Amino acid sequence: MTQPATPLHLDPDDYLQGELASDIRHEYVAGQVFAMAGAGETHNRISLNIAFHLRTATRGTPCGVFISDMKVRVSAHEAFYYPDVVLTCDPDDRESLYKTSPCLIAEVLSPSTEIIDRREKLIAYRTLPSLRDYLLVAQNCRRVERFRRTEAGEWRHEIIEDGGLTFRCGGLEVTLSVADLYEDVVLAS
């Protein structure tokens, strides 16, 4: 009689060490690893635009802006994710391989990741006490979905197709326009 397969459970420290040696990025959820797909030009331009404008606004401050290769650790979900863009202004958020206290996370939606970004990551990221804004940015049209934590701790959802978005993090206030996010991006007709 055959034995059922034993699921492989990877320790977080082993995962982090494996990522240092791997040519492929993997996300980690509750002991399991999942390979990350590559991204195209539009995805890259939008991510870079967000990071560029955030970095410009944070120069000379204790805030850090990270793009695609920096993990976010979500302890409540035993997870490490690779968001497209992360902003943290917590001076104690000093881990070199991952961040634990982001105030803003942006994900550029792709057909292969959209469901995970909308469900799994939304649920997980909302458990981060530091997180104030989670953005889902479309790459087929000018459309930003913003999940924002209010002062009362409630989450609000809004869709922004034009105009500006203002973020507050660690005493910093940053305003980006939807046009900034889509600068030099050619949208498919």
* Mean pLDDT of the region 5-17: 78
Q: What is the DSSP letter of 102?
A: -
Domain membership of residue 12 (yes or no) is no
Domain membership of residue 22 (yes or no) is no
Number of Cβ atoms within 10 Å of the Cβ of 6: 6
Q: How many separate domains does the chain show?
A: 1
Domain membership of residue 5 (yes or no) is no
Domain membership of residue 187 (yes or no) is no
Domain membership of residue 26 (yes or no) is no
CATH assignment of the domain containing 175: 3.90.1570.10
Domain membership of residue 118 (yes or no) is yes
pTM greater than 0.85: yes
Domain membership of residue 31 (yes or no) is no
Q: What is the DSSP letter of 43?
A: H
Domain carrying residue 128:
40-181
Give the tens place of pLDDT for each residue, 48-91.
999 999 999 999 999 999 998 899 999 999 999 999 999 999 99
Sign (positive/negative) of CA torsion 108, 87, 94, 128?
A: negative
Domain membership of residue 35 (yes or no) is no
Of residues 77, 71, 108, 76, the one with CA closest to residue 93: 71
Residue 134 phi/psi, 5° resolution?
Answer: -125, 120
pLDDT at 6 over 60: no
Give the tens place of pLDDT for each residue, 121-173.
999 999 999 999 999 999 999 999 999 999 999 999 999 999 999 999 988 99
